[in-house]
Amino acid sequence: MRGLIIKDALTLKSTWKNLIVMLIGSLLLSYALGNYTLAIITVPMALLTSGMNTFQTDEFYNTLSYTLSGPYSRMKMISARYLYTLLMAVVSFFVGTVIFTLINFIMNPIVDALNVDMLRFLLMLELAGLLVDAIFYPIIYKYGCEKARFVLLSIVMLLLGIAAVVSVSFNIFDMAKLDWEAIIKWMETHGVLILTIVSLVLFGLSYILSIVFFKKRDF
Amino acid sequence: MNNLEVKNLNKTFKEFSLKDVNIKVPAGKIVGLIGENGAGKTTIIKCVLDAMAKDSGNVKLFGLDYSYKLKDDIGIVYDDSFINESFTIKDLNLIMKNTYSKWDQKLFYKYIKEFNIPYKKEIKKLSTGMRKKVEIAACISHHPKLLILDEPTSGLDPVIRSEILDMFQEFVENKNNSILLSTHITSDLEHIADDVIFISKGQIIFDEPLKKIKEDYIVIELNKDEFKKFNKKDITRYKENRNDYQVLIEKKNMKKDYNKFIRNITTLDDIMLLYIRGARCED
């Protein structure tokens, strides 16, 4: 399994120049806009989505049939990809924190590194990233990268369409009556906890689904 | 002992199916798998290695029931799949070191040096021949007992092909090792194979020692008059060309006076071609 994680990490390594350019670009943009959030999240976002990119690279080079022919079970291959994704979420959080600390230090020499709000924001970013991966991965394992995007988009559109029709027909969801202030306040207090639970539960379910979907796939 | 044994392998697609395929690759032997494009060679290999899920059948590796762990002793070369070509040789070594328990870094770099392959260049910057050599070095550097090679020499020039075939012959000098070599370049097999399995439309047509195949089949060439007079019962397959007929005859049906119709040495290509494209006399 270590070999597969290293393979994915090396795939990411081969894009290091792009990551540097991304960081410089986002720093310039942030400087111009006077808000450094973009600079703080750009590289972590790229790292977070690198798991998804490795699917594409594997598909492009037809690597899956090669690795499946090696001393790996299908389950191990999936475990390696999920583990890599979790590792990248940790790395991404760490990198985000470092970028934020450096920017904060340069812009405001009084060291105020551990800005809790920013750390919480970064954590929510990682969790949201894991959530997206959790939704995408089983579909990619089932249909492959190319088709997965269309499958997911069609499912989302269908579900949204049905929800909208049901909501309008039965007047279930009156947006005007919602107390948005209360909702936002509640989310600020409980958002991280809720997102953590939802992301981790979905990530686990996604892993199981991926195993089921990948079992019979031919390469 | 058989390093690979496949029993009653079945796999069905919409327009193609493998039917009850049985294969044995004994230790110390090179077994060639031949057949036209789309005959099922790669499907067999992928089913054996679990890159494709088989419908039914049994695969034994080194005398044991299939387990992915046994693939630690198998080296693989595919025609169309490998790893990210932006990796360098060093990267590849790092991945393989963490994949195969018996990965021999020294041996790998020895091959790379022998092949004059630059260490630091990305794989995509190497020539086709060099790339194939890297794949072969990678497949052989963990001291496998069985090599499964799918068109390993396709697209290579005769010099590189010959070098690679020499490596394969060296590999089976160790009597515990064996090779299953799928190729449509049958001339490669004529030099190195012990046994040949011929597959067509998902079915094994024959599985014989190469020597026996060469002894058992003869291709003769007849003009139209000769063909008319020829005893059709002796013909296994024939193919009508513009000026003559190519006729495949089994040795048991060979008569003394047929010798005059032998124009060339019979090759595996001739036999394969006549089996696939030739007609039976009753057709």
pLDDT tens profile B98-116: 999 999 999 999 999 988 8
Looking at the complex, report in whole angstroms how far the Cα of residue B226 sits from the nearest Cα belonging to chain A. 50
SS3 B253: helix
SS3 B98: coil
The bridge status of strand B2-12 relative to strand B64-65 is unpaired
Q: What pLDDT is attached to residue B28?
A: 92
Q: What pLDDT is attached to residue B91?
A: 93
Locate A134 and state its tokens. 């959790």
For B34-59, what is each residue's pLDDT tens digit? 988 888 999 999 999 988 988 999 99
Q: Measure CB to CB from residue B52 to each of A57, A73, A219 and give the nearest one.
A: A219
CB spacing of B46 vs A219 below 8 angstroms: yes
Band (A185; pLDDT cuts 50, 70, 90): confident
Q: What pLDDT is attached to residue A173?
A: 65
| A4 contacts in chain B (CB < 8 Å) | 99
SS3 B261: helix
CA distance linking residue B67 with residue B59, whole number of Å: 9
Locate A32 and state its tokens. 């111009």
**Total beta-carbon pairs less than 8 A apart between chain A and chain B:** 92
Mean pLDDT score, B66-89 = 89
The helix-helix angle for A116-143 and A180-214 (nearest 10°) equals 40
Measured CB to CB, residues of chain B less than 8 Å from chain A are 46, 49-53, 68-72, 74, 76, 78, 80-87, 91, 94-101, 148
Band (A174; pLDDT cuts 50, 70, 90): low
Q: For residue A54, what is the nearest residue in chain B, using CA coordinates?
A: B84
Q: Measure CB to CB from residue B68 to each of A63, A72, A219 and give the nearest one.
A: A72
Looking at the complex, report in whole angstroms how far the Cα of residue B188 sits from the nearest Cα belonging to chain A. 24
Cα–Cα distance list, B47 to A11, A65, B6, B55, B66 (Å): 28, 11, 10, 9, 11
| A10 contacts in chain B (CB < 8 Å) | 84, 87, 91, 94-95
CB spacing of A62 vs B69 below 8 angstroms: no
Q: Measure CB to CB from residue A66 to each of B74, B81, B97 and give the nearest one.
A: B81
Which residue, chain included where needed, has tokens 């450094």?
A: A36
For B159-204, what is each residue's pLDDT tens digit? 888 888 888 999 999 999 999 999 888 888 888 999 999 998 899 9
Looking at the complex, report in whole angstroms how far the Cα of residue B252 sits from the nearest Cα belonging to chain A. 42
For A96-122, what is each residue's pLDDT tens digit? 988 888 887 777 655 455 577 778 888
Band (A175; pLDDT cuts 50, 70, 90): low
Q: What pLDDT is attached to residue A117?
A: 78
CB spacing of A3 vs B71 below 8 angstroms: no
For A28-43, what is each residue's pLDDT tens digit? 988 888 888 888 888 8
CB spacing of B74 vs A69 below 8 angstroms: yes
Query: Long-range pairs for B58-67 at CB < 8 Å and ≥24 separation?
Result: B58/B6, B58/B7, B58/B8, B58/B9, B59/B4, B59/B5, B59/B6, B59/B7, B59/B9, B60/B2, B60/B4, B60/B5, B60/B6, B60/B7, B61/B3, B61/B4, B61/B146, B62/B1, B62/B3, B62/B145, B62/B146, B63/B1, B63/B2, B63/B5
What ranges do the domains of chain A cover?
2-214
CB spacing of A61 vs B49 below 8 angstroms: no
Q: What is the pTM of this model?
A: 0.83
Strand partners, B76: B148
| A58 contacts in chain B (CB < 8 Å) | 84
Percent of chain B, pLDDT > 70?
99
pLDDT averaged over chain A? 86
For B210-239, what is each residue's pLDDT tens digit? 888 888 888 988 888 888 888 888 888 899
CB spacing of B98 vs A218 below 8 angstroms: no
For A58-81, what is each residue's pLDDT tens digit? 988 888 888 988 999 999 999 999
CA distance linking residue B169 with residue B178, whole number of Å: 10
What ranges do the domains of chain B cover?
2-201, 213-277
Q: What pLDDT is attached to residue B262?
A: 80
CA distance linking residue B82 with residue B64, whole number of Å: 27
pLDDT averaged over chain B? 89
Mean pLDDT score, A156-176 = 80
CB spacing of A70 vs B76 below 8 angstroms: yes
**pLDDT greater than 60 at residue B254:** yes
Percent of chain A, pLDDT > 90?
32
Rg (CA), chain A: 20
CB spacing of B71 vs A63 below 8 angstroms: no
Q: What pLDDT is attached to residue B233?
A: 85
What ipTM was predicted for this assembly?
Answer: 0.81
CA distance linking residue B215 with residue B250, whole number of Å: 9
For B262-274, what is each residue's pLDDT tens digit? 877 888 888 888 8
Band (A17; pLDDT cuts 50, 70, 90): confident
CATH architecture type of domain B2-201: 3-Layer(aba) Sandwich (3.40)
Q: What pLDDT is attached to residue A109?
A: 56
Band (B31; pLDDT cuts 50, 70, 90): very high
The helix-helix angle for A37-48 and A50-60 (nearest 10°) equals 40
CB spacing of B51 vs A65 below 8 angstroms: yes
CA distance linking residue A55 with residue A141, whole number of Å: 9
Band (B279; pLDDT cuts 50, 70, 90): confident
Mean pLDDT score, B75-104 = 90
Strand partners, B23: B6
